[in-house]
Every structure is written in C-alpha cells, then in structure tokens.
Amino acid sequence: MEFLRFAIIHIGVPAAGSLVYLWLRNRMRKENIEEPPDIALFILFVTYGGWLMEALTLLFWRWSGMALLGIMYLAFIAPVVMIVLAIKLYPKRKLSPYHRGSFIACAVYALLPIPEVIWMSMP
C-alpha cells in the first residue's frame, strides 16, 4: 500500500500533468495560435501541480525535507514568478483563450498570498 501511495503521488501526478501539458501544447500548435504561451503554461502546470503534490503528500504520505523545499518554492518564489508571467501575458491576453487563461491563472496565483500575509502580520 505504501508503494502505491508513493507511485500515485510522486510518479502518477507528475506524469498525468506532463501528458495534459503536452496535449494542450500540441492543441495550440494545431490551432496555429500566435505566440503560444508554452513556457507560461509549463510553469503554471509545475506550480499548480506542485500544490496538488504537496496536498497529497500531507494527506497520504510522509512529510520530508523535499516537501518542505517544495512548499518554500510555492510560497516564496512562485508568487514572484507568477507576477512576472502575468505582466508579460497581460498585453497578449486577447490573442487566444490560452493566453487569457494563462494570464488569469498567473494573476490569481500572484494575488492569493496577499490575504495570507496580511493575516499573518496582524497582532
């Protein structure tokens, strides 16, 4: 049972995310999307997939140093990356639904830590 949990969380989730990303990238290429947001989508998949893996690790697996490093990235580095991506995608958001969706996903992620930081700074 332990190996099954490990395989689903640490192999299955990244594999499924990679397959969905590749499918979406190929779909954008077939539709001849102008300047497809490949890199932004990849970073989005890694980041949101990272949250899924952290949640599954917390619920069904053992917490580890690697999980802590993942949370540190997701909490401190990813918001900055998402702000940069949102700024870069803002002028392109009307090119396609893929650009718009990527922009919205980046902007939402970039804004999410604000209430948490405000709550943590309150006396």
1-18, pLDDT tens digit by residue? 889 999 999 999 999 999
Domain of residue 69 covers 2-121
- Taking residue 76's Cβ as centre, other Cβ atoms within 10 Å add up to 10
Element (H, E) at 87: helix 78-89
Q: For the whole model, what pTM was predicted? A: 0.87
Number of domain units in the chain: 1
If we measure between CA atoms, which residue out of 41, 16, 18 comes closest to residue 28?
A: 41
How confident is the model over 46-101, as pLDDT tens digits? 999 999 998 899 889 888 888 889 888 988 899 999 999 999 999 999 999 999 99
Is the predicted pLDDT of residue 118 greater than 80, yes or no?
Answer: no
| pLDDT computed for residue 120 by the predictor | 60
For the chain, what is the mean pLDDT? 90
Residue 114 or residue 106, greater confidence: 106
